Amino acid sequence: MLFDSEIFQITALSLQVSALATLLSLVIGLPFGTWLALGRFRGRDVILSIVNTGMALPPVVVGLVVAMSLWRSGPLGDWKLIYTPWAIVIAQVVIASPVVTGLTAAALAALDPRLSQQLLGLGASRPQMIWRLWREARLPLLAALMAGFGSVISEVGASMMVGGNIRGQTRVLTTAIVLETSKGEFESALALSALLLVITYLINLALTWIQQRGRRKVE
């Protein structure tokens, strides 16, 4: 059975790792997705389709590739990150970035194309124009953020492989659920599952609240 303090530590690590990974995915995905939505260049469709495929990247595949890179025998072995929370963050960024990128591109592409031209016509600089577009699309952009967070807080394959599920160090909620199940401790596994669902729900509730408040302002 798990102790209360251990559950707290596991939950805190899950939240820290997934929040950081989501934030980094936003830093990567928002500019990249914007560039894909607004850019007019050859090969854009190819890149978009690759990003959209990336949205369905199986976490175990990401886990395998990141693990092999971070192993001592791997190209990034000198970083000594394998079986640390940082390794999980790296894998989760790889998983969430395409999600944020793809949904950002879709959100901005859904805006009226005349809007950006109008803004530029009114004398807005390019950064000002992009800032307006982001504000305009903030509801679907928040949805992109939620999807990114949802994809990492719930994944288990990559966290297991690159984190190692080491007790007190890299054990997160999903890997703890797998472990409790393999021990035949189905009650603990269910309790942890419920905890994971409640936390995910609360975070999405908060984001939805922000999103809807934004909607009322728009109206």
Residue 62 burial (10 A CB sphere; 0-12, 13-18, 19+) = buried
125 binds another protein (CB under 8 A): no
Return the residue of 129, 179, 196, 203 that touches another protein, per CB under 8 A. Answer: 179
63 binds another protein (CB under 8 A): no
Instruction: Please report, as a single letter, which amino acid is at residue 80.
Output: K
215 binds another protein (CB under 8 A): no
State how far the alpha carbon of 198 is from the alpha carbons of 23, 202, 204, in Å: 21, 6, 10
By beta-carbon proximity to another protein, the closer residue of 32 and 86 is 86
85 binds another protein (CB under 8 A): no
Supply the Cα-derived Rg of the chain in whole angstroms.
Answer: 20
Return the residue of 18, 151, 159, 165 that touches another protein, per CB under 8 A. Answer: 165
Q: In degrees to the nearest 10, what's the CA dihedral of 90, 95, 99, 105? A: 60
Return the residue of 126, 135, 167, 215 that touches another protein, per CB under 8 A. Answer: 167
Q: How far is the C-alpha of 62 from the C-alpha of 25, rounded, in Å? A: 15
Q: H or E element: which one contains 119?
A: helix 113-121
Return the residue of 90, 95, 108, 160 that touches another protein, per CB under 8 A. Answer: 160
148 binds another protein (CB under 8 A): no
Return the residue of 43, 184, 218, 219 that touches another protein, per CB under 8 A. Answer: 184
Residues 185-204 binding another protein (CB under 8 A) are: 185-186
Number of Cβ atoms within 10 Å of the Cβ of 18: 29
Q: Site residues (CB under 8 A) for another protein?
A: 71-72, 82-83, 160-161, 164-169, 171, 175-176, 178-179, 181-186
